[in-house]
Amino acid sequence: EDGDDADADPAPDGPARANSGGGGGGGGGAVAPTAPAAALNRLKFARQARVLAALHVLQQTCNHPAALPAKRWPDPQFATGALDASSPEFGPQAANSGKMARLLELLDEILAPPREKVLIFTQYLGTLNLIADLVEASFAKVCARRFYGK
């Protein structure tokens, strides 16, 4: 499990309600939506979930392309050559991501004598593992500790 929650469908806030309106008696209480309205609500919710999933993918890609889970890459049979996950441009080297390159520059300054302690937060497990690997490869005397939970 990569730990990315982009596939998880968030639970709706509750059943949709429609106001019966109509100026007559009966109190004007809430009633369940009609079948077409309920279907429209489901479609709207599904569209919102897809948009949020796409934003998660973009966020992971901006962290580093190598941190993007394999299931998020375009299918190789349909992808153009520019989006091949096995291309060297998408490898786990820090130079393939401006954010990672800058992070290592900052760590170089921070870990120079007098050495400071560093705590790095990330939302994605793939990014966490990539950062830890890059830090340990770049700084021989540093052991990256990973803390995560579900």
Cβ pair 86, 76 in contact under 8 A: no
DSSP structure class, residue 30: E
The pTM for the full model equals 0.61
Nearest to 139 by CA among 110, 94, 108: 108
Alpha-carbon distance 34 to 58, whole Å? 36
> pLDDT 10s per residue in the chain (150 long)?
444 444 444 444 444 444 444 444 455 566 666 888 888 888 999 999 999 988 888 888 888 888 887 777 777 666 665 677 777 778 788 888 889 999 999 999 999 888 888 999 988 888 999 999 999 999 988 889 998 887
Structure tokens at 87: 């291309």
